[in-house]
Amino acid sequence: MHCEWTIKAAEAGKHILCEKPLGTTSKDCQRMIDAADRNNVVLVEGFTHRWNPHLRKARELIANGAIGKVVTVTAVCCSHRTSPEDLASVRYSAELEHGALRENGSYAVYATRFVLSAEPVRVNGVAYDSGDLGIDTTFCGMMEFADGAVAHVTSSMEHSDFHTQITIDGREGRIEIPSMFEDSGPIIIKGPNGENEEVIATPAPNRFTVQLDEFSQCVLTGKSPEFPPEDGLRNTAVLEALREAALSGRSVPIML
């Protein structure tokens, strides 16, 4: 759906803010990017996670060596069904290839890539379908990075509540974000052996407003997006590889 209508919009000369994930496959993402380029329109993936103040602060801390070399990352994004009617929603659509990985896992995968400012080189995955729905209702994946860091991502649509957090462990400390969706919540930084704990808060502007303001400036002034659509393509490529790994039972390399 995203690919078809993005291309139609581009051919009609319309600028496009496309809800995440940009496309179901990296091939579709590239077709969308090519269509936008051909028609000289702005294409941005609507993914407010990029404007998450917690993740932006964590990325800055890691880049400045606050916890030393990153060893592991654990990222979680899980939700729950509130009623049987939820099964009729698009989130559970096998036809549209939805499921826990694309619905929730995209946040965990992106958060990991974002804070590390790096792309995984190999992934493994395990998927579980709790009710013969034709989708993954729970997905667990592992991502390996070129510098040796390893990330574990968990996504599910069957937990008892909604929760999403990320923990980054380095050789010299730890960064914890207990709730990635609570923009005014804390970031916890710990030194070796859990000592010298520091709890910090970050400014919490409405990330949807920030996203729309940036998109508007790209349209009005011709500035390049801070996060071009190729970033969405890369996240989709990782999700594709994770799904392939789960289906095949093998590690899958990522070539970006």
What does the radius of gyration of the chain's CA atoms come to, in whole angstroms?
Answer: 18
Q: What's the CA gap between 110 and 142, in Å, rounded? A: 13
Mean pLDDT by 10 residues, the chain (256 residues): 92 95 92 97 94 93 96 94 60 63 91 97 92 79 97 92 94 95 88 86 88 96 94 96 94 89
* Sign of the torsion angle spanned by Cα atoms 169, 175, 140, 118: negative
Amino acid, single-letter form, for residue 24: T
Distance CA 138, CA 21 (A): 18
What pLDDT, on the 0 to 100 scale, is given for residue 85? 60
Provide DSSP, 146-178. TTS-EEEEEEES-SSS-EEEEEEEETTEEEEES
State how far the Cα of 118 lies from the Cα of 125, in Å rounded to an integer.
19
State the pLDDT at residue 95: 57
Rounded to 5 degrees, what angle do the CA atoms 90, 93, 94 make? 160
pLDDT of residue 256: 73
CA separation, residue 6 to residues 1, 52, 235 (Å) = 8, 25, 18
Q: Judging by beta carbons within 10 Å of its beta carbon (0-12, 13-18, 19+), is residue 210 exposed, middle or buried?
A: middle
Mapped onto helix, strand or coil, the DSSP state of residue 60 is helix
- Thinking of the domain 2-48+207-235, which architecture would CATH place it in? 3-Layer(aba) Sandwich (3.40)
**51-200 has which fold?**
Dihydrodipicolinate Reductase; domain 2 (3.30.360)
Domain ranges of the chain: 2-48+207-235, 51-200
